[in-house]
Structure 1
Amino acid sequence: MAAIFNMFRVKMGVVIARICLLLMLAVYSSYGGGCNFPEGWTGGWFQSGIPGLIYINSTTMQGKGDCAETDSNDKFLVYDRNEDCYRCLVIHEKHKYVLQYKETYCRERDSLSTMCESITGDAALYSMFRKEPRPIPEPCPFHPAPFTFTYSRGSGDCANPPSRAESCTDDSRLLLRYMACPDVPGTESNVEELICLATWKEGSTRYLVGLISQVQRRNSISTDEDMYRCFVYKGQHADKTVTYTIAQSGDATCNGLTSSVDGSRTMKLTNIDDEHNRCHFPSWVVEHHKWFSLDHTHQYHFTTKNATLKIMNEDGSFEEKRLVCHSILEQKDKQFVKLVAHLTRGCESGHVCVSVWRRGGGVLELQLGAALHDAPHHACSTGHSAPHVTLLSTSLYPMRCPMLGRYTVVDSLADRRRRRQQLTIDEATGEEVAEKPVECVMGHYDSASVGCGAAQDTIVFQSACTSAVYTCYGSWREGNLGLVVAGAARPSSRPHALCFLYTNYIANDSSGTAVQYLSLSGVSRSCDRAVLPGLAGDKAYNLTLNGTCEQSSKYNSVAVRLYPALVVLLIPLAILAR
């Protein structure tokens, strides 16, 4: 009997527990937790007039309440625990970064439809802009920049002098240069930067939400209330002219914006024809759309229309430089071009002088002016003393090397450094004593040959334990200075090479015999004319010419006494293959 009673008591306990659980779930459902907000809304949002951010998770909107019921569309019934009441929120996602909503007063619960029907058409509309996670800007809808524009704050159009809108390297930014008009009150010179965050369309009306920052007052403290602005815009295209009318909100909301000609501030942008459509980089320059600097710090990319060059860091991030061909001044036999380009660096822009040389198969040299000029005709009017940048394509074509011949290495910078490192101080005498030399040293070679293969396109250095092979990809002379670009025999998707600079001269050796010398330096960053051949570098070799590639070493040992010797100082500064 006791066993039966205990079994009955256990079953009753289970039933009571289930009833309690159902009651708890019913209560929980009635006070929130009965629905979820869309997953894409999770994060922190800014709303004008609300201190701090409004955080939304799957079930709760901070400051509004817990999601209790939804029609799976845009209507949400939320329960406010603090006030113990319900309100209807009608929320529209205009963009993944923009939410707009209307709401009812908080009161006793009624059906979702009944409560939401009480929202009138003229009820206050609130806008929320995503702050966390940090939004990624999107390209501004106003193109092609630059533009001139007029603007008004309600006291008349400021048209003379015209203001100017310029693009930045990042397409999501636009620089607005406002001019002051003496005859229009309330106008002033100012520079603002617009970062475009979100665009959407409602019927025929187009909206933009962006951040406005003061360029000339970078150190001033700007709040979200100061920076967030809403815009309504409309574009008109006619022949080569593009015009945009834009209305801007006066605060960090989209309230009151209904057309592109009615706002706290209105603007009319008209594009400037800078003749870019009539200027293109020559075909031999854009033969390869992607180029790498010799030191591999930058990547140069020509667009498919051959009018724009973008310069990026090697890791893919923008270095804030973009060049658009403006006008070609000079061309020579598909080997040289001099032109004026419009350069954008960050949000700065102006005209610069550009010179490009073709140095070989897949090798270019670029000289880019540093100063920005407002007028195109001023860009190349002064001396062009900018440094040369050596560019390599991923398709390098071997070429015949200069300085053909076979050489014997008689001395090297590596040897001298090794000897200095091997000197020790004798503790007894205090004098330097040389240690036993190392038999094989990396970078130390016994012989070299230049252009001695069938194609005459390789430079080979050899010793008993190691060798190095370079392929010549381009060579040229500038007066007494010779230059050679040589690199790995099999270039990778990121080619590596050195630039060798050399000069010839005649001097007397220790016996008074006139000897012809060839001084050569190799640099890894570019063909830097400031490098004096033979006087700088990490590695250097003195080589004596044994004769032509066809002559044997044995024969050349005699020929050296009959013909002037060539001593070559070689300084490569980079590891060519990685």
Structure 2
Amino acid sequence: MLGSGTEVGRIKGRSCTFPSKWSGRWFQSGVTQQIVIEGDRLSSKGKCLSSEGDKFLLVDEKKCYKCVVIHEKHINVLQYKETFCHTREALPNLCSLITGDALLYSMFRENASPVSCPLRGPFSFTYNRGHGECRNPVSSIESCTEESRLLWNFQACPDVYGSESTVEELECLATWKEGSQRYLVGRVHHNHAMSNEDRYRCFVYEKTNGINSHALVQDDDIEYNIAQSGDATCNGLSSATEGSRTMALKRVPSSWKCRFPSWMTFPGHWHTLDYSSTYSFHQKNNTLRITSSVGEFKVHCAHIRSSSITDTSVALVAHWQRHCVGVFICVAFYRRSAHVTEMQTGRGTNRAEDACSPANFNPSVLHYVTLVTSNPEAKDCPYSGKFTIAGLKIHQRNARSLEVPSIKNESVKNHHKHYNKKHKHSIRNDEDELLVTIERRKRKYQKFLEKIFAKETLKRERLQQKMSSKSNTTVSSQNITKHENTTFSNITKLAESQSRNYRNRRSSSNVDTSTCINSEFSTLDIGCNTHENMEFHSSCDNKEFITAYSCHGGWTDNGTSFLITTPLTRDSIGAKRYCFIYKESNDRTIHFTRTSENCDRNLWPGVDGALVFNVTSSGECVETSSAVVIGSGRPTLINYDSATLSDRMYCILAWTGSTVWRFNSSFKALLTKKIHGSVSG
């Protein structure tokens, strides 16, 4: 045992260090300086000479020898007992001098990471500070956006001395169980907490119903007793009913009864157009969590204000909470498609009944926040055909904007003044576009494709000769199928290889893309290769470039139309979603504005925005070749044997060169048969 006579003789040559997980700065009530544990040092108590289990022999600069018994209650809480100062001669029996009733000291880690609180609101409670129980009006506990915080609302009782109306925020730092008692240590934040002596508190709590019973206890029936220490120690807490302040908690039903619309909650997760915020629905459709760069918000549906007959819009009062502070806000949702929704939010108020008043919620002046699901499905694009582009303007990069609504009661006028000023010249460069050089691909792989076709033709001729000399047609059919699969596999591997290595080819190309990025788009194809895609065509150094987008649905509001799109390929710095805002004039010209921020009503199509341009129709989606006819997205192939080698190459290059071409299994089978002449042209 540590402190025995044999141990004394070995102390001088032994090393002793404290556990590395204890390293750091600690607070202890009554100690003015921070306590630092590092290596073999425990601040002013000195250096560790020897240790065994939880017992440590220490000596300071004044040759004061102590035995300290340290217990780790939690990574953030250490408790210890110690002896008085002794000389070295007392070492053999030093640790035996610590008695069971010795004073217990508690050290709390400074800058500790918080933990989830063992209690989650809402609760109602009564409390007693030694002068009687304050029962009426009842006090309450609310949860915060962080699971490590609780908000305590104490009410003052006129007939109870010492009761007062105050709000305290508890940040949970540690929990542990000791025997039948459960302990909690936290920092209490309130107006009178000026130092760590005022902030750190220790609690003992116990559940009072359902104990020693196998009966199921409903959440609304849960009750607790809690005792709180009067200082920054855990001393004097012998039970959950004895302490400087005792409380009796009872779970109360949630006051949030309404549900968000099912067309919002069914997808579950939404993003703003610029991905600056994420919206997630939880807990039976009445809780929304919004995560953004400014923090996390928890939104509860308080009650439905109004809804449309077609169930495409709803206005409701929501309780908008950040940290432990919340306000009531009027919120309107507008369903634009199964994967696109817009939202408007008003000013925050302290009373739910005031949230949707005209002074706090005026839809005609409030901006819209565009929300898109994580994986929106492709939809048919508006219009169909080929268009000529004119009046193209590309402006400078803009900063990402729209944050979730502030819970501060700022005026709508000031908000829009700031918003309009911030977005006056907000534009994103066009450097995030997909640039596809078809001519370069044709030249690069022309010789390679010639070899493939020549090789496959020779194989086919030899196989036909071999088959004609055999009488077993079953085996011959199997050989045909095997050869067809091999041929198509070669072509497929080539296409997949080019798709995988496109970015590497782009960066290593002889074409200086930096000088071509801002070249003007000349034409626009909508719904030509597929009904769900838009393709912008431009040229630079005699090379053709295509920038493609997939459509996800749109809507019209007050004569202006909006379309949500996704670039089919983008750079790492490029936007993930775009909103095309467009309006058709009397002369059949369509004015476009593209933005990655939001479907902003303040942007005038063809005038304001990141990318603005006008288009006029130049014809339908028909483009004829001897090998391929492209119309409404359905290619028709001629017989392989009757096609020239250039026709065959054009067919395959159209396949491998297109950024938007997709084949299903039936079309692949048809292509294989046509290549081998199994199906007539």
Q: TM-score w.r.t. structure 1 length?
A: 0.75
1:354 aligns with 2:331: yes
Give the superposition deviation at 1:307.
Answer: 3.7
Cα offset, 1:304, TM superposition: 6.6
Q: How does 1:497-536 map to 2 (within 5 A)?
A: 497-506=577-586, 515-536=587-608
- The answer to whether structure 1 residue 154 and structure 2 residue 154 are counterparts is no
Q: 4+ residue stretches of structure 1 with deviation over 6 A?
A: 110-113, 491-495
Moved more, 246-255 or 84-93: 84-93
1:60-79, aligned counterparts within 5 Å?
A: 60-72=41-53, 74-79=54-59
User: Per-residue CA shift, 1:103-135, capped at 9, x if unaligned?
Assistant: 11222346878332322222111111112xx31
Query: Which amino acid counterpart does residue 236 of structure 2 have in structure 1?
Result: G
Q: Which residue of 2 aligns with 1:234?
A: 206
Residue of structure 1 in register with 2:38 after alignment: 57
SS at match of 2:610: coil
Q: CA–CA distance in 1 between the matches of 2:126 and 2:231?
A: 21
Match of 1:116 among 95, 101, 108: 95
Following the alignment from structure 1 to structure 2, what is the Cα–Cα distance between the partners of residues 307 and 152?
35
Distance between the aligned counterparts of 1:522 and 1:281, measured in 2?
31
Instruction: Show the counterpart of 1:206.
Output: 182
CA distance in structure 2 between the partners assigned to 1:257 and 1:489 by the alignment: 64
User: Contact 2:589–2:615 (CA<8 Å) still a contact in 1?
Assistant: no
Which residue in 1 is equivalent to 2:107?
A: 128
Contact 1:32 1:67 in 2 (8 A): no
| Closer, same or farther: CA 478–411 of 1 in aligned 2, 3 Å | closer
Query: What's the secondary structure of 1:285's corresponding residue?
Result: helix
Confirm or deny: 8 A CA contact 1:229 1:250 kept in the other structure: yes
Is 1:251 the equivalent of 2:223?
no
Give the corresponding residue for 1:184.
Answer: 160
Alignment counterpart, residue 532 of structure 2, candidates 457, 462, 470: 457
Q: How many residues align?
A: 482
| Match of residue 368 from structure 2 | 388
Q: Which residue of structure 2 lines up, in the alignment, with residue 447 of structure 1?
A: 523
2: distance between equivalents of 1:96 and 1:439? 58
- Write the letter of the residue equivalent to 2:608: A
Corresponding position of 2:241: 261
The question of 1:137 aligning with 2:114 is answered yes
Alpha-carbon distance change, 236 to 501 in structure 1, aligned in 2, over 3 angstroms:
farther
| Displacement of 1:50 | 0.9
Q: Secondary structure of the equivalent of 2:32?
A: coil
Instruction: Indicate conservation of the 8 Å contact 1:331/1:338, yes or no.
Output: no
Q: Give the counterpart of 2:147 among 153, 157, 171.
A: 171
Aligned residue for 1:446, secondary structure, equals strand
How far did 1:544 drift? 2.2
Corresponding residue for 1:480? 559
Question: CA-to-partner distance for each residue in 1:409-456, whole Å, 9 max, x for gaps?
Answer: 2332359xxxxxxxxxxxxxxxxxxxxxx9967151111222333x42
User: Counting helix residues as a fraction of each chain, which structure ranks higher?
Assistant: 2
One-letter identity of the residue aligned with 1:322:
K
Q: Is the contact between residue 591 and residue 613 of structure 2 (CA under 8 Å) also seen in structure 1?
A: no
Match of 2:291 among 308, 312, 315: 312
Instruction: From 67, 86, 89, give the equivalent of 2:65.
Output: 86
Residue type of the partner of 1:342? H
Aligned equivalent of 1:36: 17
Instruction: Quote the offset at 1:169 in angstroms.
Output: 1.3
| Partner residue, 1:16 | none
Q: Give the 3 Å change call, closer, same or farther, for CA 233–85 of structure 1 in structure 2.
A: same
Give the equivalent residue in structure 2 for 1:273: 253
CA distance in 2, matches of 1:28, 1:302: 67
- CA gap 1:328/1:551 in 2 versus in 1, 3 angstroms: farther
SS state at 1:284 partner: helix
Task: Report 1 or 2 for greater relative contact order, CA contacts < 8 Å, sequence distance ≥ 6.
Answer: 2
- Deviation (angstroms), 1:210: 0.8
**Distance (Å, rounded) in 1 between the aligned partners of 2:610 and 2:578:** 13
> In structure 1, what is the Cα distance between the partners aligned to 2:152 and 2:179?
28
For residues 439 and 279 of structure 1, the distance between their equivalents in structure 2, rounded to whole angstroms, comes to: 56
SS state at 1:407 partner: strand
Paired AA for residue 498 in structure 1 = Y
Residue 467 of structure 1 and its aligned partner are, at CA, apart by: 3.0
- Is the 2:201–2:233 Cα contact (8 Å) retained in structure 1? yes
The 3 A distance-change label for structure 1 pair 440 and 170 is closer
Q: How does 1:283-432 map onto structure 2 within 5 Å? A: 283-303=262-282, 305-313=284-292, 319-328=295-304, 330=307, 335-375=312-352, 379-380=355-356, 383=361, 385=363, 386-414=366-394
* Unpaired segments ≥5 residues, structure 2: 1-6, 210-216, 396-513, 625-681
Go from structure 1 to structure 2 and tell me whether the alpha carbon gap of 1:259 and 1:32 turns closer, same or farther (over 3 Å shift): farther
Deviation track 1:488-539 (CA, whole Å, cap 9, x = no partner) reads 1269999711222233343xxxxxxxx2443333322112223333331233
Q: For 1:525 and 1:268, how far apart are their aligned partners in 2?
A: 50
The equivalent residue for 1:559 is none
Q: CA RMSD in A?
A: 3.2
Distance 1:32 1:368, change over 3 A: farther
TM-score for the superposition, normalised by structure 2: 0.64
User: Residues 243 and 176 from structure 1, CA distance in 2 versus in 1: closer, same or farther, beyond 3 angstroms?
Assistant: same
Whichever residue aligns with residue 542 of structure 1, its letter is N
**1:44 match: secondary structure:** strand
Aligned-partner residue type, residue 598 of structure 2: S
Deviates more, 1:239-248 or 1:92-101: 239-248
Paired with 2:362 and 2:623, the residues of 1 have a C-alpha distance of 46
Higher strand share: 1
> What's the CA shift for 1:246?
1.9
Identical pairs, percent: 41
Q: How far does residue 275 in structure 1 lie from its aligned partner after superposition?
A: 5.2
